[in-house]
Structures are given as structure tokens and as C-alpha cells.
Structure 1
Amino acid sequence: MAVPKKRTSRSKKKIRKNFWKKKAYWTALKAFSLAQSIFTGNSKSFLCSKTGNSKGFLCSK
């Protein structure tokens, strides 16, 4: 007969949730930093040129 698993404690659940949130925070920070460097023209990993049309930048890696 199947036995239900024990419930996860609140503290363990909060630890796991905070770890996930921290991982998402750093990923968002890196993406924002890359966008900022592309916008200012200081990017070393992307070659960007501002196009004449209203679409903005044309980038290639």
C-alpha cells in the first residue's frame, strides 16, 4: 500500500524559494548590464551599430 510522503517544512521551502529567487535576480542583473553596455556602445562581445530606421540597434555576436 502506498504511503504519503512527509510534508516539507516551511523553513526548507523558504530556503529553496530564496535560492531560486537569487538565481533569477543575478540572471536579470546580467541581462540588464549587457543591455546597458550595448546601448552605451561599450560592449566587447557584441558588434552593434545604430540603424537609421526606428527599430534601434542591429547587433551580431
Structure 2
Amino acid sequence: MAVPKKRTSKSKSKSRKAIWNRKAYYESKKAISLGKSILTGKSNSFIYLNSISKLNEAD
């Protein structure tokens, strides 16, 4: 017969949620930073085409 598992403590679940939130925070900071660098034209790590006309010329 199946036995229910023990309940996870509040501190353990809160710490897991805090880790998850911290990871999401740093990923959002990186995304905002990349977006700002693309807008200012100082991006070295992201390759993209500026307009649709360049996209059509490549084909």
C-alpha cells in the first residue's frame, strides 16, 4: 500500500523559491543589458540584421 511522503518544511520550500527567483532576476538583468547594448549599437556578442532590406539582399 502507498505511504504518503513527508511534508517539505517551510524553510526548505522558501529557500528553493528564493533560488528560483534569484536565477530569474539575473537572467532578466542580462536580457535588459543585451537589449540596451543592441539599441545603442555597442553589442559585440549578438549578431543581427538591422533591417528587412538587408535580409532580402542576402537571399
- Whether these two folds match at TM > 0.5 is yes
Q: Is it true that 1:9 corresponds to 2:41 in the alignment? A: no
Please tell me the root mean square deviation across aligned C-alpha atoms, in Å. 2.2
Q: Secondary structure at the match of 1:8?
A: coil
C-alpha separation in 2, matches of 1:27 and 1:16: 17
Misfit runs of 4+, over 2 Å: 46-51
Output aligned runs, 1:2-41, within 5 Å.
Answer: 2-41=2-41
Matched letter for residue 23 of structure 1: K
Shift of 1:31: 0.3
What is the TM-score with the length of structure 1 in the denominator?
Answer: 0.74
Runs of 5+ consecutive residues of structure 1 not aligned to the other structure: 52-57
Q: What residue ranges of structure 2 are gaps of 5+ in the alignment? A: none
TM-score normalised to structure 2 length = 0.77
Higher helix proportion = 2
Give CA-to-partner distance per residue, 1:8-59, whole Å, 9 cap, x none.
00000000000000000010000000000000111012345654xxxxxx8x
